[in-house]
Amino acid sequence: MSVVEIGKSAPGFELYDQSENLYRLSDSLGTWVVLFFYPKDNTPGCTAEVCDFNCEYDRLLALGVKLFGISTDSSRSHQRFAQKHQLKFPILSDQQGRVALAYESLVRLGPIKIAKRDSFIINPQGEIAAIYRSVQAKGHGRFIHEKIQQLMAD
């Protein structure tokens, strides 16, 4: 497994969202991408984080940024979660934990695999521009919005 670090190519993926739409990271080349991993749908911290990103979504979209949430929950769980909180962006199902593992964002608790609360900003060339590990859930969407504006200005 390659090491995930700033300046290296972001690990590719193909995952389904809450509506069973397939997303590939390679389809986003040429645009800025934010990937945020979170542990579990419908838990207090994860709900706060996802809803915070939902509040920032229109501002990120106006910058041309693609936003994806990723957890090891099923697409069906994501569908209920997205409907409950009226999410505007895709949340991707990584039930096997392969993508979280590729981003060094997977925790194994016996047979259970969950994603860590980590975020990645990927530049239009498909390289990792920023990594944020073990982030605070509340306010993280705004933080990422500010950071991506700084990166775009450089």
How far apart are alpha carbons 4 and 123 in whole angstroms? Answer: 14
Catalytic residue chosen out of the listed positions 33, 46, 70, 99: 46
Q: For tokens 């749908």, what's the residue?
A: 41
Give whole-number Cα distances, 127 to 14, 27, 120, in Å: 17, 14, 10
How far apart are alpha carbons 58 and 65 in whole angstroms? Answer: 10
Alpha helix positions (H), 16-117: 44-62, 75-85, 98-102
Q: Is 46 a catalytic residue?
A: yes
How far apart are alpha carbons 19 and 16 in whole angstroms? Answer: 8
The DSSP code for 28 is: G
Token readout for 17 is 């969202």
Residues known to be catalytic: 46
